[in-house]
Chains A and B, each alone.
Chain A
Amino acid sequence: MRFMIIVKATKDSEAEVMPIGPAWEPLFAEMAKYHEELQRAGVLLDASGLQPSSKGWRIKYSGGKRTVTDGPFTEAKELVAGYTLIQVKSREEALEWTRRFPNPALEDCEIEVRQLYELDDFGPSESVERFRKLDLA
């Protein structure tokens, strides 16, 4: 089963503060060490940091209309700044790995963990099949 560790945005990440310099060094080293451990344990699938919401956009759907809104967006805690995707044997194993996730910021912040749907989670039906394709497209 796969889990996504979602790192929530902070003021720094939204302000595009690059994590370089002496203050960031210990944090960066810990993050590298943690991901090395994931890799050595064969559970790491993917990981990336996301650029700030000021460089992104949203598309809102309402009554058949779609509207594009450019970033930045407020409420940093509701934005995503990065993710780490892992594949493990059990929910408990995921919990244990995520308990060890280093603090990803120099300020207060949080990470959120969500399990990915596997295709087996859905019963067989034609519309589910179509959703699956959308999902993977």
Chain B
Amino acid sequence: MTSDTHRAIDAVWRIESAKVIAGLARIVGDVGLAEDLAQDALVAALERWPESGVPDNPGAWLMATAKHRAIDQLRRGKLLDRKHEQLGHELEALQRSPEPDLHAALDDHVGDDVLSLIFTACHPVLATEARVALTLRLLGGLTTEEIARAFLVPKATIAQRIVRAKRTLAAARVPFEVPRGAELAGRLASVLEVIYLVFNEGYSATAGDDWVRPALCEDALRLGRILAELAQQEPEVHGLVALMEIQASRLRARVGPSGEPILLLDQDRGRWDHLLIGRGLAAL
């Protein structure tokens, strides 16, 4: 296998995984199972694509493959009963509808599905650190190893945290949906807390030798931007994104050449990132 294809598949995964997992979770109603199915599809891609090349619509390929895995599992009776009916309907529709219609139907759902995935991964039934790990994994497309490296904890700890989080969600029968009405405010706060926590860990690292870890800030910004696009009517989301963009604009001015911290008043303003400042002000 060429490592070029391997890296291309990694990139596709980072771009598509949240959408694929979210789409599957809507069908099977279980985030953990959805991720397993998506991972199976990824393994299939790793086997297939080095020879066939990356397909034109890799996201649709992963989704279709994962759905076929779901059918296989269904046949082997591995799925829980309550999911059978729902899955059956979806799969029938999948077989009936010609490809382009299916893609259009998937596209229509994508925004809501991803938003549901964010709310599920950040559900208050989970401890904060579990929410953080699950969100980075399911929505940030980070591997367990990358999350472990970012938070300087052993890989096994993160893996365990994610497994337990999925089990907790299943046991609590957390519905896969965007909360509405009175519930929304509290649930949104739970999401924003996770995003800001990731950002803060990057902005003023509490562990390790580095004073800042820009990659984590970028992950948080990315999550925040996704949320701002999907939940445009929520002012608090834009507030958080504005705060992060403006703080991140000073990221590169916060450390000196040998990694020492530089306080705000001593910072070289020429090193502030004016694009991010502009974006931050625009978000307000």
- Report which A residues bind B (CB closer than 8 A): 39-46, 85, 87, 89-90, 92-93, 95-97, 118-120, 124, 129, 132-133, 136-137
Contacts and interface: CB of A to CB of B under 8 A. Distances in A.
Contacts, number: 67
Contacts of B68: none
A116 B271 CA distance: 15
B155 interface: no
Closest 10 CB pairs of A and B: A42-B222, A124-B257, A133-B270, A42-B225, A92-B11, A42-B226, A96-B11, A93-B11, A92-B7, A39-B229
Nearest to B4: A92
B226 A136 contact: no
13 contacts: A40-B110, A40-B111, A41-B222, A87-B221, A89-B14, A90-B11, A93-B14, A93-B15, A95-B11, A136-B270, A136-B271, A136-B273, A137-B270
Contact of A42 (B221, B268, B272): B221
Chain B facing A: main interface SS: helix
Interface residues of B, number: 30
B270 A132 contact: yes
A41 B228 CA distance: 11
A92 B225 contact: no
Nearest to B257: A124
Contacts of B274: 136
Contact of A97 (B15, B114, B252, B268): B15
B271 A119 contact: yes
Contacts of A90: 7, 10-11, 14
A85 to B, nearest CB: 8
Given A46-B279, A92-B11, A124-B257, 19 more contacts: A39-B225, A40-B226, A40-B229, A41-B222, A42-B224, A42-B225, A42-B229, A45-B275, A85-B275, A89-B215, A92-B7, A95-B11, A96-B12, A97-B15, A119-B271, A129-B268, A133-B268, A133-B271, A136-B272
Given A87-B218, A90-B7, A124-B257, A41 B270 contact: no
B136 to A, nearest CB: 12
Contacts of B10: 90, 92
B14 A40 contact: no
Interface string B208-238: 0000000100100111111001100000000
A46 to B, nearest CB: 7
A119 B270 CA distance: 11
Contacts of B110: 40
A87 B215 CA distance: 11
Interface string B10-28: 1110110000000000000
